[in-house]
Amino acid sequence: MTGTVHRTRSTRVLGLAGAVGLLVLTVAVSLALGNRDIPLDVVFAALTDRVDGNTLHNIIWDQRLPRTLVGLLVGAALGVAGTLMQGITRNPLADPGLLGVNAGASLFVVLAITVLGITSPSGYIWFAFAGAAAAAALVYAIGAIGREGATPVKLALAGTALTYGITSIVTLILISSTEATNAFRFWQVGSLASRGAGTWGLSWLLLVLLGVGLGLALLSGRSLNLLAMGDDLARGLGANLTLARGIAAVSIVLLAGTATSLAGPIVFVGLVVPHIIRPLIGGDYRWILGYSLFVGPVLLLAADVVGRLVARPGELEAGLVVAAVGAPVMIAIVRRVKLAGL
């Protein structure tokens, strides 16, 4: 038995090392490929010894490196948030949007455009984060009402109801303003392109919030394993369900809120990442969360690179490419759940 556990742990460690290596390769490809391909030796030279006035070096430092950094942060945040979301709701179709994160961010961005006249993507950051956090907090508060507390079903229903309600409000506001519709449409797609330009001025507070969210998520692994057994058994094993779900919910708000504020409402990353990982390493959330830190950025950066290459000299936004991948995965998950009789 001990040998089996050791082999399993060794396999998971090797797999994690492989995920890190794949992420390094994806980052290199993200820096090298685009509207203008740059050789890897030039990329390395630019990173280690930048030459002022060198056009290729400027492209890497001013455009692709900030863009890649946003992809790393957003991909990691969404991957981990999706894993948490599926863990606390025990719903294989859950992603951060289930807590109303995307809807709340969208509402606040629309209000920033229509009321305050803000039209720059960099100006949306704090409004998007505030909206995402407010919506998720409201969903959790509604779901926590009652003797049972924030059960998976109540959270899902509250999130769905709030999302539909907010979406209706956003639609009504946009109907009355063509200018707001045009500005909001670009943000809503979900992209790393325009967000990368201002990344070097990225607020330290956002990075701190992201770090706190990741820390809370990694501490939630054992609790998620207990929650996966069902509420009654988890309570019998000494789990504080309210505290466990509360910590996970705070982490989701911080991670998904930060990600949405940086790149817009990118969907399916949080849904797909856990389903990529589970068949490889099993259902231990302590490991799934660790893998999500690296698999999420790989998926998002790869989608961003594909979007740059398939429509050159233009590009497709990363959110569209991820959706093209995520939709078939979602259909497959639904079919599998149906066949399992769940």
Domain edges within the chain: 15-192+205-339
For residue 78, the model assigns a pLDDT of: 93
Q: What is the pLDDT of residues 152-202, one digit of tens each?
A: 677 778 888 888 899 889 888 888 777 777 777 777 777 777 554 444 445
For residue 18, the model assigns a pLDDT of: 94
For residue 96, the model assigns a pLDDT of: 78
Q: What is the pLDDT of residues 34-89, one digit of tens each?
A: 888 999 999 999 999 888 888 999 989 988 998 899 999 999 999 999 999 888 88
What DSSP state is assigned to residue 190? -
pLDDT of 302 above 90: yes
pLDDT of 209 above 90: no
Whole-angstrom distance, CA of residue 335 vs CA of residue 328? 11
pTM above 0.75, yes or no: yes
pLDDT of 1 above 50: no
For residue 317, the model assigns a pLDDT of: 82
- CATH class of the domain whose range is 15-192+205-339: mainly alpha
Q: How far is CA 121 from CA 125, 169, 198, 209, in A?
A: 7, 21, 9, 20
For residue 122, the model assigns a pLDDT of: 66
For residue 294, the model assigns a pLDDT of: 96
Q: Shortest CA distance to 75 belongs to which of 219, 255, 208, 247?
A: 255
Q: Shortest CA distance to 139 belongs to which of 179, 105, 104?
A: 104
